[in-house]
Every structure is written in structure tokens, then in C-alpha cells.
Structure 1
């Protein structure tokens, strides 16, 4: 079996179109594998927005302090390999296949018990990640929740620190239709007697998280109460801030762009300092500075090229779109911009487009490469409410080439991460990863 054949099995044979809530399948699958998730220490990260950036920051902080570190992310941009990293690098195909075969063996045993017992795409890949981390003798890890928290497959972890970055409206058909309900689902990653770090400040969700922490005897560290970022300076790819929390640092530098990344970095730092305390290792300021400066997160206000200059940003919900709008107004205020946008059907299309569509002199709506985007025409109709210079082209590459031919100096590709990853591949490599033919 090849790597691509492995992917075809995971995408085609594992149910991903519907979500069956519950941890029973992942618990059983991990038990059959010998509980590989118990072989390393972890920081567990959830949040409506920011959890990917926080996980990247934590991973680099651990790496710079000398730990063999696993990073688990979802979704990926271009390659499935981006989901499971060791020291922020791809793992060998041979190891993927080795752990795949191990997980497949036990998953197919479980399949025999019926459809509701069949491990899903995310449960299968989470088990693979834990297996890979065990085989590679990972000592520490930063693990990003896939969706929610309470019933997410990653919640089989016995983590050392729980992180809730933000609470906003997304996946409401699964997590609930109020911020309080969504906060409760995210607070499901809080474990007994471990600290929790929270970057959310809205009173409703904060009260829910406080209550869960009290019940779990978890020490809660709140943004603007127990830790803070201040004295911010913003310049593209060179952003600086001060941090006060478990320790104090002055003029830390972030390559990550956008005001929201200061919040993400502060949350990551506070969580890292608490993790270091639980692990019993010394935090080195030079390593902290290096980790924050080196951290990048592809597809999150990522700037590529000069003319045209491309900005890739997965603003997939209203909160992320607000952050994108603020970043554009900070770094590119007054410039004429073209936009290429595609949004999944289960997202708040009006919430995203009302924030970003008015920013563009020219806008093309397209279709993300996903089975969750079958009605891009609806996206186009909504976009017309907010922009008079919008057109529709279902093929993302044709849409991009149109904007290039029109001579726009700056093109922003945004909306779904599936769109961002697809177009980013084409821009960087002049071709598309063969995985797209399988995943799409």
C-alpha cells in the first residue's frame, strides 16, 4: 500500500459526512492500541477561533525547550501530513503506513459491531496520531481539538493543561445555539485538578467555564485577570507586545499577523508556563523569544509574493472575518484589493461576507473543493448584498487567473480553509497536490 492508497481508504471508507457524538469509539480504539495517548504529556487546546495558532505556538515553545514534541492539527491546508507533525516536521510515509495498518486492524474489528460503532474519519486519524507519537517517542505534545471539546475524539487525552482560546458562534447545529451552550461543550476538555487557561472575556461563556472549573477543581487563568498582553506594536510580519502572567516578558516579537494573534500568543504563553511548572522544567527567555518569532501558521493572514501579492486567510466564520477585516485595515489601509472567496454551506455566509466583502474593489465568489460546498451560487447571491463588483466563477483556479489578468496588485484568498489550501498549492507550486483528487 502507498501513502495515497492509505489516504483513499481513510477518506472513502471512514464516515465523515455525519457526526455521531460520544467518546465510546475512540476510547475502545485507543484501548485496543494499548492507549498510546498515555505515552506523552499534553496541552489540550480548543476554541472557536485561534486554537490552531495557539497549538502552533505551544508546539514551538516546547521544541525550543528541547522536547521531542508532537503537534496535532485540523483541518489541513494542502496535505494530510500537516495534521500530524513531530517537531513541526512531517513524519516518514513508512511510519504513517505502519500506524495506519495498526489502527485499521482494530477499527475494522469494531466495524463488525455495526454502523454506529464504526470509527469515523477523525477518530481514525486521531488514533493514528497517538500511535505515531508513541512510536516516535514524543515526550510532549500540543493537541488541537477538532470540533467542540466534550465529545471530540482528542478528549480521550489525560492532559496537563486545558486551553479554551475563544468562544464564538460556529457549528451551532452540533454545539448549540447560544454562546453559553458552546462554552459548555468546549469546557468539556477540562480535567480534574489540572489548570485551565481561557482567552475568552464575554461574561456569559466565562461564567460557564468558571462553573466547570469549580466542579473539576481546576485552577482557572483568565485573560485580563490573571494574565495580560499590552503595549502592542503592529508591522507586517514584525509584531511586538509585552506579557504579564506567570512571568513577565517585554517586547516579544511575533511573525504571526493580526491583533488577534497577541491574544493567541498570551494564551499560549500562560498555558506553556503552567505546563512547565507541572513538568518541572526551567523556562528560558531566549527560547521563548525564539519560539514566538519563528512560529508561522500557513493560511492565517499569510503573505506570499510581491506582485501580485497574495494574502491567504481562512476566515471561515464571522469572528474570523472580523479579525481579517481588522488586519486588512491595519496593514493595507487605503490599498485597492481584490478578493477571492468561497464558503462552506454549513457556515454563516452572511456573517462572513458582511465583514469582508465591502473591503474589496473587486470580488469573485468560487467553490471550495469540499463535499460541504455544493451551493456556491448561494454564496454569490449573498455577496451581492455587500459588494457591487462581484462575479461568480465556480473553478477557483480560473477565478484566480482572472484576477491576475486584471492586474490586481494584492489578491486576498479567504473563506474556507479548503479554498485557501487549494489555491495556495497552485500559487506556491504551480500545480496541485495529488491528494486533492482524493479528498475532493
Structure 2
């Protein structure tokens, strides 16, 4: 048993050694023994390749402004471990996490001795979240982000009021498959019988797979560009404004603080899910709540400006579509800037496919690495990049120091790649008094 919060978190992290084990049997076994707290929750399940966290943040801020106590389960964390499990934006208190870990530790040791084997780190974190929401915090509604894939993800033990699939693109292919249809099949696995699904999927071959799954589950689909839509997007230094239409409500020139064309899509998915909840479940909010929520919502580590002078932006663009969205956002909001990039990624990523979206818009690229078992070396990234003005600096602190020492007024620095990398950089830069 554990006496301190730090001991509890250290034990959770030690479960990383058990790797990734897709499947729901261990979760079902554990949840049954703690009284199935997930059955007490009113949930929204959010899957997809990119945009899950942003969509959840947008929904949470609107619901919270309307007075709903809102739980969120997200990953990975950027600032603190506890932020993965939060209520109204407040991370689970250390003492509650410690108490829950001590309650479940004997069960985890017990299941290890069965044919099911040891739970993974993410399974245990999911279990802690469901217990906290269902037996301790009792939020009005819980927004739950899929960890990996969907069909066999440990969060797929819930039965939500509505499901959201933001998009489907290539990521985690060693687990989810190398064809977009295979990845879509895994993502569509969160669709439950009779539960509607909201999606912003644009790839036709992926959409067809999700549509088939929805039909087989008698689930109504709300598709971007069909059942709901956005238009008349305008861009300012503060973000975007856009019109939104759905079968239930139309809004004009809604404000959005999160920058980028992809965030308008995420906001539209969030609004469609909320409109469904308001229409069929009495989750009432006003247009004022909606506007205030959209203006307040942000997502740490996603096109996050942490310095105005010099201009420094952090963005956890960790796959091809993420980097493509980053490039579009830079072009939209900072066309006059000379862009310098620091990039680090995990070994299993398709570096060249990711980076080619940045080549046309950046002035220089610095490749680096960070302290993580699967982090690629700076030299690996350097060799993979088909870009002339580049360099490799293995230590990321040195890379940042070098760029900041030489940045000029008309330049901006984008630090991007793995979210684990962004987490380290953010802590470092936030602690710096001067750049």
C-alpha cells in the first residue's frame, strides 16, 4: 500500500512496462469488483485521430458556463499527471487519487495472477477516473477521450449518451492497421447500439466504414457537411468567427479563441453533440453560455502561444494530419513571419510525411531529442528531412537556447512534435523568467 501521492503515481507509471494490451476483459473484471461505477455516469465518448482534447475542452467550457459540473478524462497530460482526471477543470486532488490507488491496488495484484494478466498503465488510469467520477466527485456529465483506437480501448466500457469521432487519419499504424479502412474500423468501435454518433470525418473511405458501423448499431449519424455544417469563417488575431447550422439550431458569427481551420471543425463537432444533448436529454444552455464557452476554451500544448516577444508557440502535432493543421494555422495567422521550427518525435512516426507540410512555409528546422524510451535521435530526424536549411542538436535545451539567442523581430519559433516533448519544453519555458 502507498503512503504518499508520489508513491502512488510512481506505481502507476511502473505499469508502463506492461506495454499496450488492447482489449476490455481486464477492465470489465476490475470494474465489476468495484461496483461498476461507470454505469452511474452520463457520458460523451470522444474518439478520432486528432482534435479529441480540443473538442472536449470546447464542450466542457460551454457546459460549465451553463452551470453543469463537468468531468473530463483526457490524455496525455502536459502540466501535471492529475489533469487527466478533472472536474470543472480542477484535477483530481492528490488525496483522492492516493485513496483510490490504495483501494484498487489489491485488485490489480489479484488480476495479475489470473489468465488476464496485469493491467496496463492506461487501464489503471481509466479505472481511477471512472471510480472518481462515479463514487467520489459525482459530476453532472463526463466527457471521456479515447486513449488509442476505440474498439478495444479501455474507455470503451462506457455507454454514452452520444459518441463523437473527430476524424480518421494515419497514426499508431503498428496497432490500428496500415489502411485507412482498418483505422476507421477501430475508431468506429465506440459506436453503441442506438447511440447517435457525431463525426467530422472527411476521408470518404473512412466515412463509409463508420456509416456501416452506425447502420449495424441502429445509430443515427450527424456528419459534417451533411446533417450539420459551418460557414462564413472569418479570421482575426484573436481567433475565428463562424456560422453554425444543425437540424436543431443555427448560430451566426460565433467566436472561437482556438486558432486554426481544424479548430472550427472541432467546435462544430462539439456544438452538434451539445445540440443533441439539449434536444433529447434536457442539457440546457443559452446562446450566451455557448459564446462565452467558445471564447474561454483553450487546450494546453495545442498552438499555445507562451511568449509574445519573441513569438513562441508550442504545438503537439504528432502525426501527419496534426502537422498539416499546424502548417495551415501558421499560414492563416502569421503569413508575414519568418518561421523557425524545433521538432522532436517518437521513432515510430513517419517523419518525412509529417515534415513535408512544413517545408513550404518555414525558414529553418532544428531537430532534437528528449528523454523518452521511444524518442527518435536528432540525427535520425535530420537525415529523414528533405530540407536544406536544417541542423541537429541532440539536447533540446541547447536547441531552444540556440534559437532564442538568434531570433529576430520578424521571426517566430514553433516548437512541435511529440506531446511528451511539448510537455517537457513547456515546463522549462514557463519556469524561465526571461527569454
1:394, CA displacement in angstroms?
1.7
CA deviations over 1:184-234 (Å, ceiling 9, x no partner)? 110100001111101012221111111111110000111110000110011
After the TM superposition, which residues 38-437 of structure 1 pair with which residues of structure 2 at under 5 Å, given as runs?
38-113=39-114, 116-134=116-134, 135-245=136-246, 246-383=248-385, 385-386=386-387, 388-408=388-408, 409-430=411-432
CA deviations over 1:141-181 (Å, ceiling 9, x no partner)? 11110010000000000111011110101111111111111
CA distance in 1, matches of 2:18, 2:314: 26
1:103, CA displacement in angstroms?
2.2
Cα 1:430/1:39, change in 2 over 3 Å: farther
Asked whether the 8 Å contact 1:369–1:422 carries over to 2, the reply is no
Q: Which of the numbers 7, 10, 15 marks the counterpart of 2:9? A: 7
Asked whether the 8 Å contact 1:166–1:199 carries over to 2, the reply is yes
CA distance in 2, matches of 1:305, 1:373: 26
CA distance in 1, matches of 2:112, 2:237: 50
Cα 1:281/1:407, change in 2 over 3 Å: closer
CA distance in 2, matches of 1:106, 1:278: 38
* Unmatched 5+ stretches in structure 1: 432-440
CA deviations over 1:48-72 (Å, ceiling 9, x no partner)? 1111111111222221222111101
CA distance in 1, matches of 2:110, 2:429: 43
CA distance in 2, matches of 1:138, 1:369: 36
Asked whether the 8 Å contact 2:378–2:393 carries over to 1, the reply is no
CA distance in 2, matches of 1:380, 1:101: 46
The list of structure 1 runs, each at least 4 consecutive aligned residues, that deviate by more than 6 angstroms after superposition, is none
CA distance in 1, matches of 2:311, 2:185: 41
Asked whether the 8 Å contact 1:241–1:252 carries over to 2, the reply is yes
- Count of aligned positions: 427
Structure 2 SS opposite 1:339: strand
User: TM-score, normalised on structure 2?
Assistant: 0.95
1:17, CA displacement in angstroms?
5.9
Structure 1 SS opposite 2:144: strand
1:277, CA displacement in angstroms?
2.8
CA distance in 2, matches of 1:281, 1:306: 39
Structure 1 SS opposite 2:323: helix
1:358, CA displacement in angstroms?
4.5
Residue aligning to 1:436 = none
Asked whether the 8 Å contact 2:377–2:394 carries over to 1, the reply is no
Asked whether the 8 Å contact 1:343–1:376 carries over to 2, the reply is no
CA distance in 1, matches of 2:85, 2:68: 16
Residues 142-151 or 360-369, more deviating: 360-369
CA distance in 2, matches of 1:16, 1:55: 29
User: TM-score, normalised on structure 1?
Assistant: 0.94
Asked whether the 8 Å contact 1:59–1:69 carries over to 2, the reply is yes
CA distance in 2, matches of 1:43, 1:205: 21
* Unmatched 5+ stretches in structure 2: none
Q: Let me know the Cα RMSD of the aligned residues.
A: 1.5
CA distance in 1, matches of 2:281, 2:105: 33
Residues 393-402 or 186-195, more deviating: 393-402
1:96, CA displacement in angstroms?
1.2
1:265, CA displacement in angstroms?
0.2
1:16, CA displacement in angstroms?
4.9
